[in-house]
Amino acid sequence: MTIDPVNIKKTEQGTADVRDKDGQPWVYSDMVKDHFFNPRNIMLDEVDETKYNGIGRVGSPACGDEMKVWLKIDSANDRIIEFKWRTFGCGSAIASTSMLSVMVEENGGTKIDEALKITPDEIMKRLDGLPSRKIHCSVLGDKALRSAINAYFRNTGQFNRVLVSGAKMIDANANVTDKDIEEAVIDGCDTLEKVQAKTKVGIGNPDILLEVEQLIRFYKEKYFG
């Protein structure tokens, strides 16, 4: 967990007057500060990933913010009952994801389809707003949640429910895009076999394996040299 390089001082309105290294002001609400200094559902201990059936990661530490989400999903009721997360990101990303985890776990958990309807705007409203220059940070947790749900769909053979957007389709049967392969490589899948185990790409569809292997090499070189 990381924080912005900022100076913070208390204001009369109960918000924080926060200035970045260029002196530009950001005003954080008490709710944002609470979730930043006391993040809910954050994963601080070593993780036994066998306890979670939906695991997703977005971003890259080499490029900036990165986030990983672990979901425990009640398959019988299609309900997310536990949402854990860990991030290398700014205070706004931490607060936004903390609030998102609370929203998903409320009332004994949230149906998957309902969790997918939660918008960054709804998260910001629950946080009593974010500075305009930090609104994009509320999207990181949402993307990580969708990544974890997609992993759950693939692991349970629900390929028709996999969410696809803004990426090139590589395997239409398994709903796997080049972005999914990229995320798998970032997550440590450095061979075709490991990428297939994570995404199910190319299983029963050998014609695309050459393209998959080329993508794996490309992303390995991009992120790991």
pLDDT digits (tens, 9 = 90+) for 86-141: 987 777 788 889 999 999 999 999 999 999 988 877 888 888 877 665 565 667 78
User: Is 189 a residue of the active site?
Assistant: no
The confidence score (pLDDT) of residue 184 equals 87
The confidence score (pLDDT) of residue 221 equals 87
Which domain-ending residue is among 104, 129, 158?
158
> Does residue 176 sit within a domain?
yes
Q: Do 119 and 88 belong to one domain?
A: yes
Q: Which position among 32, 80, 94, 137 bears the catalytic label?
A: 137
Q: Do 104 and 50 belong to one domain?
A: yes
Neighbour tally for 129: CB within 10 Å:
15
The confidence score (pLDDT) of residue 183 equals 84
Q: Do 126 and 184 belong to one domain?
A: no
pLDDT-derived band at 157 (thresholds 50, 70, 90) equals very high
Q: Which position among 63, 106, 160, 206 bears the catalytic label?
A: 63
Contact 134, 124 (CB under 8 A): no
Question: pLDDT tens digits, residue range 14-64?
Answer: 444 444 445 554 577 888 888 888 899 998 888 888 999 999 988 755 546
The confidence score (pLDDT) of residue 37 equals 87
User: Is 90 a residue of the active site?
Assistant: no
Place of tokens 């201990």: 45
Q: Do 57 and 148 belong to one domain?
A: yes
Distance CA 155, CA 163 (A): 14
Kindly report the CATH number assigned to the domain that includes residue 209. 1.10.10.1100
Contact 140, 67 (CB under 8 A): yes
- 3-class DSSP state for residue 153? helix
Q: Domain range for residue 185?
A: 164-224
Q: Do 126 and 149 belong to one domain?
A: yes
Distance CA 34, CA 74 (A): 30
Q: Do 33 and 76 belong to one domain?
A: yes
Range from 131-140, 192-201, 216-225 carrying the lowest mean pLDDT: 131-140
Looking at per-residue pLDDT, the higher value among 109 and 5 belongs to 109
Q: Closest Cα partner for 97 from 30, 48, 145, 62?
A: 145
The confidence score (pLDDT) of residue 16 equals 45
Kindly report the CATH number assigned to the domain that includes residue 151. 3.90.1010.10
Which domain-ending residue is among 121, 137, 158?
158
Work out how many domains the chain is built from and give that number: 2
Please report, rounded to a whole number, the percentage of residues in the chain having pLDDT higher than 90.
41
Distance CA 112, CA 158 (A): 13
Which domain-ending residue is among 123, 158, 193?
158
Q: Do 22 and 105 belong to one domain?
A: yes
> Does residue 1 sit within a domain?
no
Q: Residue 83 corresponds to which tokens in the numbers above?
A: 């949402």
Q: What's the whole-number mean pLDDT along residues 67-94?
A: 91
Alpha helices in the chain (DSSP H): 30-37, 91-105, 112-115, 120-126, 138-155, 178-186, 192-199, 209-224
The confidence score (pLDDT) of residue 7 equals 38
